[in-house]
Amino acid sequence: MATALVLAAALTVAAGPAADEPLPAPGKGDKCPVCGMFVAPYPEWTAALVHRNGTAAFFDGAKDMFRYLLDMEKYGGGRRRSDVTAVYVTDYYTARIVDAREVPFVTGSRVLGPMGRELVPVNGEVELKEFIKDYGGSVLYYNDIGLENIP
């Protein structure tokens, strides 16, 4: 619970780019700063965040993005949480990039990402119910995710 409260305060970020400003796709050489995997081969799982200076960090899934945000001292290369201006994940059903603060995540499902168990972003109430019925799991929201509930 304490981690979730710290996360709620720590992950509050300024508004990101306008909706009509597309997030660039990861390049062939972009690696997840948490696990070191190349990100481009997994577009259906890509998560990203944008730093204040306009650079993006790409991740092979939402769980590594949250690990990065929760432990920027370890993974951020000198950046701070206040440097993060936008946080994005890829919706499971549509493969569209969505604001991570606006979408529910499913943990504990039978769906595996590139690195195994994953926090699966599922946008839409009907889709979320369908996903849980088909694959199991429980729902977490952005401000509820802490190191203790990342698979």
Terminal C-alpha separation, the chain: 16
Mean per-residue pLDDT over the chain, rounded: 85
Alpha carbon separation from 8 to 23, 67, 122, 135 (Å, rounded): 24, 14, 20, 28
pLDDT band for 79, please (50, 70, 90 cuts): confident
- Residue 116: burial class (beta carbons within 10 Å; 0-12, 13-18, 19+): exposed
DSSP letter at 77 equals T
Backbone angles phi, psi at 143, to 5 degrees: -75, -5
Which band of pLDDT confidence, cut at 50, 70 and 90, is reported for residue 141? very high
Digit-coded pLDDT (tens) for 46-72: 999 998 888 899 999 999 999 999 998
Structure pTM? 0.83
Q: Are 27 and 52 a contacting pair, CB within 8 Å?
A: no
Pairing of the two strands 105-107 and 56-59: unpaired
3-state secondary structure of 117: strand
Mean pLDDT of 110-120: 95
132 pLDDT band, cuts 50/70/90, is very high
**Is 103 within 8 Å of 121 (Cβ atoms)?**
yes
Q: Check residue 37 and give its pLDDT.
A: 95
Reported as a single tens digit per residue, the pLDDT across 21-34 is 456 689 999 999 99
Amino acid at 40: A
Instruction: Pull the structure tokens for residue 18.
Output: 């306008």
Provide the pLDDT for residue 22.
Answer: 58
Of the candidates 86, 100, 101, 93, the one whose C-alpha atom is nearest the C-alpha of residue 23 is: 86
Backbone angles phi, psi at 88, to 5 degrees: -130, 150
